[in-house]
Chains A and B, each alone.
Chain A
Amino acid sequence: MQGLHMVGVRHAYGRTQVLNDISLTVPAGELVCLLGPSGCGKTTLLRIAAGMERLQGGSVTIDEQVVAAPNVQVPPEERQIGFMFQDYALFPHLSVFDNVAFGLFRLDQGAARTRAMEVLEQVGMTHHADKHPHLLSGGQQQRVALARALAPKPRLVLLDEPFAGLDTNMRARVRQQTLSVLKQTNVATLMVTHDPREAMFMADRIKVMGENGQILQSGRPEDIYYNPVEEYVARLFGPMNMIKGTVRNGALETSFGVLSVNGQDDGAAVRLLIRPEGINLSSNGDQPGDTPVEVISAHLLGDSSIVRIRIRDGINSGAEFQARIPGAFDLMGGGRTWARVDPAHVFPYPQEQ
C-alpha cells in the first residue's frame, strides 16, 4: 500500500523505555496526527520514521519499501521524506528560491527552477522568491518551509509542531493553507502536535499517545471527542466538570436528572465527566432536566463565554460547574438561570479504587 506503515516500533534512551509497540498506517493522501503529552515520544517516533534515530525494534515501510527493520537502515536522504520540524529552520544565507531549490540537486538546473517556482506558486510565495528568510513574517517562513519540504515530491511528509511559533491568527491561516496544499499534493502526512484542536482541524485520523509510550486511542476527530475510551483522552480538550456517585439501575441520579452510564455495573463507583460545552443555560427552565442554578461569574472569551454556576437543588446541591455557552452571558440582567446537561457530552468512567 502507498504511504507509511510502522509496525511494533519500540525505542529506549539508555534504560528509559520511550516507545512501546507503536503501530500506525498513513495511506497516501491522508493526514494522521499524533497527539500526546510532552515527553511521550512523539518526536522520537518521527525521527525513527525519518531515519534520524536508529530503529531498535519493529519496522518502518514507505510505499512498500522497507526503510527500517532489524537488518535494514536506509539513510534519511534516501527515504524521500519532506520535513517541517520546529528546529529545522530555513537556511538564513539563502534566498527563498534557493531554500526551496536546495533539495532538488537531482534535477538539472532548468527542471529544478521550474519545480521550485511551481511549489512556491502553490504556497503563494512566488513574489518573495528573491528575498532572504529574515525579511519574511513567521507565517511566510512556514509556507516556504512547506514548499521546501514538498519540492522533491516526497513519498511522506513529517510535521513536528509546525505552527508552534506563530500567533493565533497567523497559526489558523497557515494551518488552513498547509492542509489544502497537502491535500492537493496527495501525499501521506504524519503530524505531531500537543494541541488537540489543531489535531481535530487537520487530521483524517488522530492517534492519541499516553505517557506510557503506547497508543491509547485511534480514530476520527469525532471519535476522539465524542467517544473517548479513557478519562485521559476525554480530558485532552480542556477542563471537565465531574460528578461522583454510585450506579443504580444502569444510571446515576444527579441534579440534572438521571444520567445513563452505559457499560458500568450497578453498585459501581463512577465519575461522570461533563464537558463545559455540554451544559446549556436558559432563563425559563421549562425543559426536562433543567435545574435551577446560581451564576457565580461569567467570562467572555470572544465567540463564547465560560459561566461558573452553583447548583441550588437536588443531590448535587452546592456543587460548582463550568458551562461554556455561545456568545456573551447577560450577568447584569439578574434573571433566574437553569442549567441542563447534553448527554452527548457526558462520559462515565470507573472511580479508581
Chain B
Amino acid sequence: MFSPILKNNKPTESFDMVEITQSFKIEVEAIDADHRRLVEIINEITDAIDDGRAEECVALVPNFVEFSQQHFEREEALLTKHAYPLAEKHRQHHVGLTDKMKTIQALSERAAHSQPAADALRKELVFILMDDVINEDLAFKSFLVKAEAEGGAG
C-alpha cells in the first residue's frame, strides 16, 4: 500500500485534527484564546465523528456557531476600540459567514445517519475556521499587535 505523506516524522494519530500553530497566531492573546477555543470545539466534534458518536454533532455544532458569534462581537469591539480603518469591512466579512454556519448546522443534523455528511461537516469546519475566520483575521495582525502594545501600557 501507499504510505501517507510523512508529517514531521511523527505518527499522525497523535495529532488533533486542527491546531493553532505559529502561522495562524494573531499574537493578541484575547483573540488567540478565542481561536483556540474554537479549535477545541472542532476537535470535540471530529472526535465524536471518529468514535462513532456522530449523533452528538447536533448538540456540539451549535456550540461552535454560538461561540463564533460571541468571538466575532468581541473581535469587532476590539477593532473598533483601536479605530482599525477596515473594521467595518471585517464586520461585513463576519456577517458573510452566516450562510456557512447554516450549512454546518444542516450537516450536523445528517451526520449521524450519513457518513458523507459527517465527512463534509469535518471538512467544512476546518475550512471555515482556518481559511475564513483566522486567515482573514491575519490581515489586521500587525495593526492590532501595535495598537495593543501602545494602548496596553497606558
Contact = CB atoms under 8 A, between A and B. Distances in A.
Given A5-B23, A30-B123, A25 B5 contact: no
Interface in B1-32: 2, 4-8, 15, 18-19, 21-24
Contacts of B24: 1, 5
Contacts of A24: 131, 135
B74 interface: no
A24 B138 CA distance: 11
Contact of A153 (B5, B8, B19, B131): B5
Given A21-B139, A185-B5, A1 B21 contact: yes
Interface string B117-144: 0001001101100111001101100000
**How many residues of A sit at the interface, in one of the four size bands?**
35 or more
Point out which of A5, A118, A184, A220 has the most chain B C-beta atoms below 10 A from its C-beta.
A5
Contacts of B136: 23
Contact of A25 (B19, B96, B99, B131): B131
Contact of A118 (B2, B18, B21, B96): B2
Interface in A137-163: 153-155
Contact of A219 (B21, B100, B135): B100
Contacts of A219: 100
A25 B130 contact: yes
B70 interface: no
Contacts, number: 75
A122 interface: yes
B7 A2 contact: yes
B103 interface: yes
- By secondary structure, the B interface counts as helix
A122 B132 CA distance: 34
B2 A187 contact: no
Contacts of A155: 5
Contacts of B7: 2, 28, 63
Interface residues of B, number: 29
Given A64-B21, A66-B23, A27 B126 contact: yes
A64 B127 contact: no
B131 A122 contact: no
Contacts of A59: 23
A223 interface: yes
Contact of A204 (B6, B99, B123): B123
B8 A7 contact: no
A218 B5 contact: no
Interface in A187-233: 187, 204-205, 218-220, 223, 227, 229
Contacts of B123: 30, 204
Contacts of A187: 5
A153 B139 contact: no
A212 to B, nearest CB: 15
Contacts of B21: 1, 64
Contacts of A184: 2
A61 interface: yes
Contact of B23 (A64, A223, A229): A64
A229 B96 CA distance: 9
Contacts of B139: 8, 21, 23
Contacts of A1: 18-19, 21, 23-24, 130
Nearest to B99: A227
Nearest to A154: B5
B146 to A, nearest CB: 16
Contact of B127 (A23, A61, A122, A205): A205
A21 B142 CA distance: 14
The 4 closest A-B pairs by CB, nearest first: A25-B131, A61-B23, A25-B130, A23-B135
Given A59-B23, A153-B5, 13 more contacts: A8-B139, A21-B139, A23-B131, A24-B135, A25-B130, A27-B127, A28-B5, A30-B123, A61-B23, A122-B2, A186-B4, A218-B132, A223-B99
